[in-house]
Amino acid sequence: MPRGICLIGWTNKEGFFLIGKSPSENFELTEQEIMRIGSLHRMRRLDANVITLKLKELNVVSFFSGLITAQYYIAPNFVIALLLEKHENPRDYIKALPLGSKMVLQEFPVKRFDARTTTFRDVLSNIGQTYNTTLPLLYEALLNNQIEINEDELAIILAAEQKASTIEQEYETLKDELQNKDSMIATLQNMIKEHSEKIKSEETMARFKATLESKMKIEELKSSNLKLEKSVNEKEQNYKEECNMNELHQETITLLLDYKLVMQLRDVDTREFLNNLLERLRPYSDEFHLELRDRIEDYIKHIEWIPESS
């Protein structure tokens, strides 16, 4: 049975730190273990991703929501880790944990903030206390296999990881093929060398002919090898271009979200001011004040930017 679950946050200044855990008495994590879990996610990639690992006393399956500068899921900069007994297989939860993480992340009052400029206290202030309720609920849902596995939704959450993994697999396959071709070339070259030493009379001409055929085969393999090398280089170039394009998209998204946040804050202040003004005008019932109140109420209805609901 899983030992428990924990919520981990991250800031650029303080690194990874424990926010909460459930059940609180079932396990302890050192700062080094918390940092190891978070660092493995960061080393894997900056987008949302899921990993498994072994600690000294526990097995772990962990989901990272991604950085704000990458492809993140609901709320960036958070890790939700499920702690298992040593005999349990973390891969049993590798699909359920990312899908279930929304039970915790979507309840944060503020879902998007830049951890590069915030502190530990800022993080706690932004996310509120909902995790004290949602984290135990997620633990119970995982414990009782209540998370519905939706492959399409999972693919969206881990889209960047799956795309990068596919490119990496293709690249590794091409590398293996190149190594096999190189091995075949080396074998044929050794055969040619052996045959060359034995060609001393007319009786060995047949073997010499076979050696010539082997040389022709080597040339064919070399040509094939060059094509494979070209394909590998193209894959590497496409991968680099894809990474550069992802970075550009993420920067654009970040700028747009920042703009939207500013507009939301402006309209929140405007709405609050107009609502206060309405309260002050309510005691007056003459025609001028009534018309003024109608115009203010109509303007409030047409405020464009509405803050995201928590």
Amino acid at 52: T
How far apart are the C-alpha atoms of 34 and 17, rounded to whole Å? 7
Residues counted in the chain: 310
pLDDT of residue 204: 64
pLDDT of residue 169: 57
Region class of 128: left (phi > 0), else alpha (psi between -120 and 50), else beta: left
CA torsion 162-166-171-174 (nearest 10°) is 160
Among candidates 121, 296, 269, which has minimal Cα distance to 261? Answer: 269
How far apart are the C-alpha atoms of 49 and 41, rounded to whole Å? 7
Q: Please write the tens of the pLDDT for every residue from 198-207.
A: 666 666 666 7
1 and 85 in contact (C-beta within 8 Å)?
A: yes
Distances (CA, A) of 295 to 119, 267, 270, 275, 276: 43, 17, 14, 12, 14
Q: Which burial class, exposed, middle or buried, applies to 101 when counting CB atoms under 10 A from its CB (0-12, 13-18, 19+)?
A: buried
Amino acid at 68: I
Amino acid at 238: N
Q: Provide CB contacts within 8 A for 62, sequence distance 6+.
A: 37, 40, 41, 50, 51, 52, 53, 79, 80, 81, 82, 97
Q: Please write the tens of the pLDDT for every residue from 169-224.
A: 555 656 666 677 777 777 777 777 777 666 666 666 667 677 778 888 888 888 88
Q: Is residue 155 scored above 80 in pLDDT?
A: yes
* Mean model confidence pLDDT for the chain: 83
Give Cα 275 distance to the centre of its chain: 42
pLDDT band of residue 310 (cuts 50, 70, 90) is: very low
Among candidates 144, 135, 141, which has minimal Cα distance to 5? Answer: 135
Region class of 145: left (phi > 0), else alpha (psi between -120 and 50), else beta: left
Q: Which residues pair with 6 in a beta bridge?
A: 21, 81
Which fold does the domain 4-157 belong to in CATH?
Beta-Lactamase (3.30.450)
How far apart are the C-alpha atoms of 166 and 172, rounded to whole Å? 10
Report domain extents, the chain.
4-157, 161-242
pLDDT of residue 230: 87
**Sheet containing 4-11: order of strands:** 15-22, 4-11, 78-84, 59-64, 49-54
Q: 152 is written with which tokens?
A: 């399409």
pLDDT of residue 144: 93
Confidence (pTM): 0.53
Q: Please write the tens of the pLDDT for every residue from 80-134.
A: 999 999 999 999 999 999 999 999 999 999 888 777 778 888 899 889 999 999 9
pLDDT of residue 284: 84
Kindly state the DSSP code that residue 63 receives in the 8-state scheme.
E
Kindly state the DSSP code that residue 95 receives in the 8-state scheme.
T
Q: Is residue 254 scored above 50 in pLDDT?
A: yes
User: 150 or 261: whose pLDDT is higher?
Assistant: 150
Q: DSSP E strands: which ranges in the chain?
A: 4-11, 15-22, 49-54, 59-64, 78-84
